[in-house]
C-alpha cells in the first residue's frame, strides 16, 4: 500500500517535472542583441522559424538599435532603446493576437528583428559606365565619378518589411550594392539636367553633393532609409582630355592663345625633342633641329607678342646709333673681296704636305719669317681700318697714332 502510494507520488512528480521542462526548454525570457557588429544591419531572433517567448519576458534594446516584433509575417510593434517587459501594458497590439492564439497560456510565438540604427558609413558608389555629357568647350565627354555616402535606417519597420523580409538583406555590403544603383541613376539625371559643363561640375562639387541628398531622398525613403552624407571624391574625364587640359594650361602659361597656338606649340616641342634626341638623327640633324628651333622661336614669340612688345617705356635705341659713317660707304663686302683669283684657289689646294716655311721635324724654324717687322705698324693698320669703317674720326686716329709712335 505504502509502496504503491510512493510510486504514484513519484510518477506524479516526474510528470510535473517533465511538464515544466517542456514548458521552459527553448522558451525565451530575455531577448537582446549583444553580439553587435557594425557590418550587421539586422539580427533576427531566432535565426529561423518562430521563437517561443515567455509572457513577461524582458526585451532589452540598446541605444542605436530598435526591435521590430513579428507574428505571422506581420510587423506588430517597434521598440526603441530601453528594457521592455513583454506584457499587455506595453504590447497593446499583441494583446488580442496572443489571447486568441495561445488561449491564455503564458508562452507565445513570435520573431524579433533587431535593427541597427547607427549611421552606416563608408558606403561606396561609383560609375562603372561613364556618364555622357555635352560640354560647350569639349563636345561630348564621358564623365566618371566616385565617392562614399552614409545612411541611417530611419524607419525600421518599413526597412524590415521591404528589404529584409523580402530580400534577406542583412549586411552593410548587400545594402550598399542595392543603394548604389539608385545613386548612379540620380547622378546621371542631375548631371544631365543641371550642369552645363564639366568645369561647372568641378567647381560645384559641394552643391552637387547637396543636390544628390535631395535627389535620392525619396528613393531611399521608400525603404525606410535616409541618406545622411554624400561625398564626391572625384569627377573626371578620360586621360586624353585631362592631357589636353594640361596642354592648354602650358600654352596659356607661355602666352599662346588662339587656334594656331596649338600647332606652333607642337612644332616647337617636336623640334626640341629632335634636338635632344642625339641617337636617332645624328649630330647634323640635332644641329639642324636646334638651329631650326632657334630660328623659329623668336618668330613665334614675335607673333604672339605682337602689339605687346616692346613693353611701355622700352623704346628704340637712343639717337646717335649707329654712329655716322656706318655702314661704310661702298657697301659690304669691301671692294677687293673675294680675291680676284677666286677662293679657294683652284690649284694647289689643299696643299700637299706641310706649308712652305713650316719647319720640318728636327729642323730649326726658318730664319726671317716669324714676327712682323714693327708691331706699331700693325696697330696703326688696325686703327686705319677703324677709320675706314667710320668708327674712329680722323682726329682720333691722329691722336692714337701720335700716342703709339710717341710723337
Partner 1 sequence: MEEVRDLRMDERQGAGGVLDELMRKIPGFAGYLDRENRRDADQRHREFIAKRLTQKKRDIQDVGEILLGSGDMSQMSALDSLTNKCDRLIERTRHASAGFSSFMDSNAVDVQRLDTIYEHDLALLTTVESLDALVSRAESAADTKDNVGQALREVKKGLDEIDAHLDQRDKILKGLE
Please give the grid coordinates belonging to residue 280: 636617332
ω into residue 46 within 30 of 0, thus cis?
yes
| DSSP per position, 166-188 | HH---BHHHHHHHHHHHHHHHHH
Please say which residue, 57 or 208, places its beta carbon nearer to partner 1: 208
**Count, residues near partner 1 per rule CB under 8 A:** 23
Question: Of 217, 248, 272, 400, which lies in the binding site for partner 1, with binding defined by CB under 8 A?
Answer: 217
Question: Of 49, 73, 89, 313, which lies in the binding site for partner 1, with binding defined by CB under 8 A?
Answer: 89
Binding segment (CB under 8 A) for partner 1, from list 12-20, 214-222, 293-301, 384-392: 214-222
Please say which residue, 172 or 186, places its beta carbon nearer to partner 1: 186
d(CA 145, CA 127): 6
Please say which residue, 25 or 63, places its beta carbon nearer to partner 1: 63
d(CA 197, CA 245): 14
Site for partner 1 in 54-73 (CB under 8 A): 63
- Which single residue is written with the C-alpha cell 525613403? 221
CA angle 176, 179, 181 (to 5 degrees): 115
Site for partner 1 in 151-190 (CB under 8 A): 154
Answer yes or no whether residue 87 interacts with partner 1 by CB under 8 A: yes
Answer yes or no whether residue 9 interacts with partner 1 by CB under 8 A: no
Please say which residue, 132 or 207, places its beta carbon nearer to partner 1: 207
Rounded to a whole number of angstroms, the minimum distance from the CB of residue 90 to partner 1 is: 5
- Backbone phi, then psi, for 231, in 5-degree steps? -120, 135
DSSP state of 40: B
Rounded to a whole number of angstroms, the minimum distance from the CB of residue 245 to partner 1 is: 23
| DSSP per position, 41-99 | -EEEESSSS-EEEEEEEEEEE-TTEEEEEEETTEEEEEE-SEEEE-SGGG-HHHHHHHH
Answer yes or no whether residue 93 interacts with partner 1 by CB under 8 A: no
> What's the start-to-end Cα distance of the chain, in Å?
174
Binding mask 222-261 for partner 1 (x = CB under 8 A): ------x---------------------------------
Binding segment (CB under 8 A) for partner 1, from list 38-46, 205-213, 238-246, 289-297: 205-213
Answer yes or no whether residue 104 interacts with partner 1 by CB under 8 A: no
Question: Of 213, 272, 379, 400, which lies in the binding site for partner 1, with binding defined by CB under 8 A?
Answer: 213
Please say which residue, 52 or 154, places its beta carbon nearer to partner 1: 154
- Which single residue is written with the C-alpha cell 541611417? 152
- Which single residue is written with the C-alpha cell 546621371? 188
Binding segment (CB under 8 A) for partner 1, from list 86-94, 240-248, 336-344, 396-404: 86-94
What is the length of the chain? 407
Answer yes or no whether residue 192 interacts with partner 1 by CB under 8 A: no
Helix (H, G, I), strand (E, B) or coil at 349: coil
d(CA 125, CA 183): 7
Contact footprint for partner 1 (CB under 8 A): 63, 80, 82, 85, 87-90, 154, 193-194, 204, 206-211, 213-215, 217, 228
Amino acid at each position: 500500500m505504502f509502496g504503491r502510494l510512493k510510486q504514484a507520488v513519484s510518477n506524479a512528480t516526474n510528470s510535473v517535472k517533465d511538464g515544466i521542462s517542456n514548458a521552459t526548454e527553448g522558451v525565451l525570457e530575455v531577448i537582446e542583441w549583444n553580439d553587435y557588429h557594425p557590418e550587421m544591419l539586422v539580427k533576427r531572433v531566432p535565426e529561423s522559424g518562430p521563437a517561443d517567448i515567455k509572457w513577461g519576458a524582458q526585451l532589452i534594446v540598446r541605444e542605436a538599435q530598435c526591435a521590430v516584433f513579428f507574428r505571422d509575417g506581420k510587423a506588430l510593434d517597434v521598440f526603441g532603446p530601453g528594457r521592455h517587459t513583454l506584457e499587455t501594458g506595453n504590447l497593446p497590439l499583441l494583446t488580442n493576437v496572443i489571447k486568441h492564439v495561445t488561449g491564455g497560456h503564458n508562452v507565445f510565438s513570435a520573431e524579433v528583428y533587431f535593427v541597427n540604427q547607427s549611421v552606416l558609413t563608408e558606403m561606396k558608389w561609383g560609375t562603372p559606365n561613364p556618364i555622357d555629357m555635352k560640354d560647350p568647350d569639349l563636345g561630348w565627354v564621358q564623365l566618371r565619378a566616385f565617392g562614399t555616402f552614409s545612411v541611417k535606417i530611419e524607419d525600421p519597420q518599413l526597412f524590415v518589411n521591404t528589404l529584409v523580409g523580402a530580400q534577406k538583406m542583412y549586411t552593410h555590403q548587400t545594402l550598399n550594392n542595392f543603394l548604389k544603383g539608385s545613386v548612379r541613376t540620380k547622378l546621371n539625371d542631375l548631371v544631365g539636367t543641371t550642369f552645363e559643363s564639366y568645369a561647372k561640375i568641378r567647381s560645384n562639387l559641394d552643391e552637387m553633393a547637396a543636390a544628390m541628398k535631395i535627389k535620392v531622398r525619396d528613393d531611399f525613403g521608400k525603404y525606410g532609409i535616409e541618406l545622411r552624407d554624400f561625398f564626391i571624391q572625384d569627377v573626371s574625364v578620360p586621360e586624353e582630355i585631362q592631357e589636353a587640359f594640361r596642354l592648354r594650361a602650358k600654352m596659356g602659361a607661355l602666352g599662346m592663345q588662339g587656334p594656331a597656338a596649338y600647332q606652333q606649340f607642337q612644332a616647337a616641342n617636336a623640334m626640341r625633342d629632335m634636338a635632344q634626341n642625339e641617337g636617332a638623327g645624328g649630330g647634323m640633324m640635332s644641329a639642324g633641329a636646334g638651329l631650326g628651333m632657334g630660328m623659329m622661336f623668336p618668330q613665334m614669340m614675335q607673333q604672339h607678342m605682337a602689339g605687346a612688345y616692346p613693353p611701355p617705356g622700352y623704346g628704340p635705341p637712343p639717337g646717335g646709333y649707329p654712329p655716322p659713317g656706318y655702314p661704310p660707304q661702298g657697301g659690304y663686302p669691301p671692294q677687293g673681296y673675294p680675291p680676284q683669283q677666286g677662293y679657294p684657289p683652284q690649284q694647289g689646294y689643299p696643299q700637299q704636305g706641310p706649308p712652305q716655311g713650316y719647319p720640318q721635324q728636327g729642323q730649326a724654324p726658318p730664319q726671317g719669317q716669324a714676327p712682323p717687322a714693327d708691331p706699331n705698324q700693325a696697330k696703326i693698320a688696325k686703327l686705319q681700318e677703324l677709320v675706314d669703317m667710320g668708327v674712329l674720326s680722323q682726329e682720333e686716329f691722329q691722336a692714337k697714332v701720335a700716342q703709339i709712335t710717341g710723337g
